[in-house]
Every structure is written in C-alpha cells, then in structure tokens.
Amino acid sequence: MVPTTTPTASSVTASAAQALFTSLSTGSGIDTASLVSSLVQAQFAAKTDALTQKSTAISAQISGTSTLMSTVSQFAAALKTLATGGTLQTQPVSSNNNVVTASALSGATLAGLSSSVSVSQLATGQSSRTTVPVTTRTTALGTGTLTLTLGTATYSSDGTAMTDFHAADGDPITVNIVAGATSLDGIAAAINAKNAGVTASVVTDADGSAYLSLKGATGSAQAFTLTATNDPSGKLAQLNVGVGATGTALTSGAQNAKLTVDGVAVERGSNAISDLVAGVKLQLTGTSNTAVALTSTTPTDALKSSITDFVDTYNQVLKTLTEQLDPQTGPLRGDAAAQSLLRTLRALTTKPILTNVAAGTPTTIGEIGIKTNRDGTLSVDDATVARALTNSPDAVEAMFAFSTTSTNGLTAALNSISLSTSSTLYGLGASAKRYNDQASAVAKAQDDIATQSDAMSTRLTQQFASMNAKVAAYKSTQSFLKNQIDAWNKPD
C-alpha cells in the first residue's frame, strides 16, 4: 500500500500562490472558491496539523489509561471471585453425611479441625391440617377474624394434639378474612401475607376436596395456635389449631435439635448451625447413636491451579502495561502513574502479604514458588510450591483467602493496587482527568481555528469577488477602446 502524506504548510502556501498567479495571468475567469480555499488552508495548515497530531496522541493516552485501569480492576475482581468461591479454602469433612454435613464459613481457618458431633433429635416445625374436608378449594366459608399466636407448646404422646401452650411476648397476629376471599385459597393467601413464620397452603385429594395445611418454622419456640375470634358463620372455627381444637390434627410438633458437640450437650432451633464449631456450618440431616467425626482437608490441587492462573493473568497484565510504556511507541511512556503501577506490580513478589505469623512462615508469594524472571514476568517454581503446600499449607491458603476486615493476602494487595491505580488524586484516574482536560483544550483550539477559517474565507471571497468585478470592467473598457482604435485605423 502506498502511504498517504499530509500537505505541509509550505506546500499549501506555494499551491495557493500558484493558483493566484495563474488566475491573474488570464485576466478573467478566476476560480475564486478554489483560490480562497487554498489561501485559507495555507494560513492555518501548520496549526491544524499540530493540533491533529496532539489530539491523536491524547486520544491514545486516554485509551491507554482506561485500558490499564480496567485491566487491573478485572485482575483484582477475578482473584476476589476465586477467593470467595470456597474452592481454595480448607474444607471440613464429615464421617457420616447422613447425620451431619459440614461446610466452611467464609474466611475460616480449618487446618487441623477435629471435632465430634452426636445428634439425638432433629429440629422440626409444627405442622397441622384440617380434618374436615371443604367441598373445593374455592368454596366460601365466611368472613371473620383469625388470630395467629406464636409460643411454646407441649403435645400428646402420639404428637397429634396440643396439650398446653404458652404465648411468646409480643402481640398476636390478626388475620382478617374479608368478603371475596373467604375460600381456603383466600384464607391461605391472607395468612401468608402476614409473613409471621407460618406458611399456609391448600391440599386437595383425589375427589377435589380441600384441606388447609399450616407449617411453622423449626424450633420449640415456633409453636403456634390459630383461633377464629370473629366468626359469624361459624365455619372458620373448623380451622382452629391449639389446645382442644377438633377440626385440625397435628402432623408434627415444634421442637429443637438436640446434639452433643465435643461432649457438650446443646439445643438449637434450627438444623443449620454455625455457632458450635468455629468456622464450620453444620447441617443436621439425621440422628445416630454413633458420634460423627469432623476433620478437614486442604485443597492442594486447587491452590496449585490458582497459583498458575495467577501467574498467567499477572503476565497478561504486565504485557498490557509494558506496551503502554514502550519507550518508542507507548502512549503512556511518560506517564508517572503508569510507571508507578509498573514498579508496584514488580514488587509484588517480594512484598509481605501476611503479617503476624510464626517465624519461618512464608509471607511473600515469592516464598511459595512464584518467581520473577529477568524480563519481569512471573513463573512457577513447582518444587517450591510443593514444599510450601506440604510445610505451610495454612500460609498458602491465607495468601489466597478473602476477608472484608484483613489486609492480608493477595486479594487485599491487588484491591489496594486497583484503588491506587484508579485514584483521581495521584493514580491513572488523575492522568485520565488530565488527558481529558487536554483533549477539551485541543478541541476548543480546533473550534477556534474553524471559526477563524470561516471568517477569513468570507473576507477573501468578498475581496476577490470585488476584484473580479473590477477586472471584468477593465476588460470591457479595453475591448471598447480596441474596437474604437481599430475603427479609426480602418482604411476608408
């Protein structure tokens, strides 16, 4: 492809002069538009060319700062996502998932976990259903008021009836059953709308007959009664739940989970428990006379993979940064914030990212097998990684762990770098603001030149139009005189 060239100011001026001389030599028929265009272009060519080059350079700088800020931000976000996903965290292991399963809480350190759990009773919620069928789920029962009360209860030996109830502190919940919503569907919707911890649903049998089912939250403190307190039709009373209720039967009672953790007997209102074994969420799934052992396992393979992924991503970020800082072609080669970012990234392998650890514990990513090459890129020393995962698995895990309160770890380090990079006071954010201000100034200068060009074009057009008219008049006079002289000299 043949390269295109931009006319220089001197060549444009020469072109304009030549056009003028050519036009004047003819004495008429001047191409005013072309002449004016050439003169105006000659006047502003140097400034226009300089501003165009400056605008192009600034646009590249703006694009460069945006690219770097986005790249670093995405690097930090990707590492955070990896750290919060749980795959890099030591996980608890249950010896019997049919009794209890275990999962790690975010940020927990579970190396060396050793606990035992025995479960004698699961937490259940009170459940009831009506015993007298209603013709259909849309059959109207009648308006009135149902009162829902939460508390504790005792039940019959077979668990089908409530024998005693003690209301909890607080006001009962009033459920108004209004005209147009007196069917079991309407009543269930009215109860659910209260969000009181009791869920109502309608169950139909094979004949289409409908029953109201009520289920409470788990725990002995979540028992409930339902009483028709305003029942003009007398039909709402068949929905009563509580001591002496005849229209409903209990299918389960409200009770706590009972378990023993490391020899200590405890009760909880839920089968999901996070406050008994440090850093572990227990999910009770069954009962057993045999204790369940809780231990832990370190995700060695996942950590190895993450180290490799980190190195690969770092090298991609470094490549983008060094391209922007190339001494010959980089648009940000003179940008102090970009240079500072490069120094910060290169120091990452030697900067301690773990504090308050035992002597001999790795504190930098360089000490766990991430080494810096001569060209600044990173690589993985597999032998050092393997040794670190064997001797200091907690430290390696901590480097990749995420915490909202700690400044330890790679996630915190990269987040700090990302924030510094985007700072509008001293980072690339400040550079971007400066370049945008410069771009605005160049755009204004270009607008000013356009205004001046228009004014000059108008002025020259008027001047050459006047000149053209005078030349035409002179030529007309010249023609008249010539004709007269020719007539005088004509032989008789």
**For position 26, what pLDDT does the model report?**
46
Q: Are 138 and 122 in contact (CB under 8 A)?
A: no
Helices (H), 300-403: 300-324, 336-346, 382-391, 393-399
Which among 97, 21, 33 is positioned nearest to 294, based on CA atoms? 97
Q: How many CB atoms lie within 10 A of CB 124?
A: 20
Which of 7-11, 132-136, 345-349, 426-430 is least confident? 7-11
**For position 2, what pLDDT does the model report?**
37
**For position 120, what pLDDT does the model report?**
98
Residue 234 confidence (pLDDT) above 60 = yes
Residue 41 confidence (pLDDT) above 90 = no
Q: How many CB atoms lie within 10 A of CB 373?
A: 9
Residue 4 confidence (pLDDT) above 80 = no
Q: What is the DSSP string of 230-290?
A: E-TTS-GGGG-BSTT-SSEEEEE--B-EEEEETTEEEEESSSEE-SSSTTEEEEE----SS
**For position 492, what pLDDT does the model report?**
61
Q: How many CA atoms lie within 13 A of 155 on its CB side?
A: 22
The pLDDT > 90 percentage for the chain reads 68
The mean pLDDT value for 463-489 works out to 76
Q: Are 369 and 377 in contact (CB under 8 A)?
A: no
Nearest-10 crossing angle of helices 32-84, 336-346: 30
The mean pLDDT value for 187-212 works out to 97
Residue 10 confidence (pLDDT) above 70 = no
Give tens-digit pLDDT for 292-327.
999 999 899 999 999 999 999 999 999 999 999 999
**For position 33, what pLDDT does the model report?**
81
Give tens-digit pLDDT for 439-457.
999 999 899 998 998 888 8
**For position 430, what pLDDT does the model report?**
93
pLDDT-derived band at 252, boundaries 50, 70, 90: very high
Nearest-10 crossing angle of helices 428-488, 409-422: 30
**For position 8, what pLDDT does the model report?**
53
Residue 163 confidence (pLDDT) above 60 = yes
**For position 444, what pLDDT does the model report?**
93
> Which residues are paired to 119 by β-bridges?
259
Residue 1 confidence (pLDDT) above 60 = no
Which among 241, 236, 237 is positioned nearest to 252, based on CA atoms? 241
Q: Output the six-digit token pair for 297.
A: 């396992």
Which among 423, 424, 378, 339 is positioned nearest to 415, based on CA atoms? 423
Round to whole Å and give the CA distance between 155 and 163.
5
Q: How many CB atoms lie within 10 A of CB 160?
A: 14
The mean pLDDT value for 470-476 works out to 73
pLDDT-derived band at 30, boundaries 50, 70, 90: low
The H or E element containing residue 162 is strand 162-167
**For position 484, what pLDDT does the model report?**
76
Helices (H), 335-381: 336-346
Q: When comparing pLDDT for 232 and 13, which is higher?
A: 232
- Looking at this protein, which amino acid is placed at residue 68? L
Round to whole Å and give the CA distance between 190 and 162.
24
Give tens-digit pLDDT for 388-419.
999 999 899 989 888 766 788 898 899 899 99
The mean pLDDT value for 96-112 works out to 89
**For position 479, what pLDDT does the model report?**
75
Average pLDDT, the chain: 89
Radius of gyration, CA atoms only, the chain? 43
Round to whole Å and give the CA distance between 276 and 104.
13
Cα angle 351, 356, 358 (rounded to 5 degrees) comes to: 100
3-state secondary structure of 113: coil
Round to whole Å and give the CA distance between 407 and 413.
7
Give tens-digit pLDDT for 43-58.
888 898 999 899 999 9
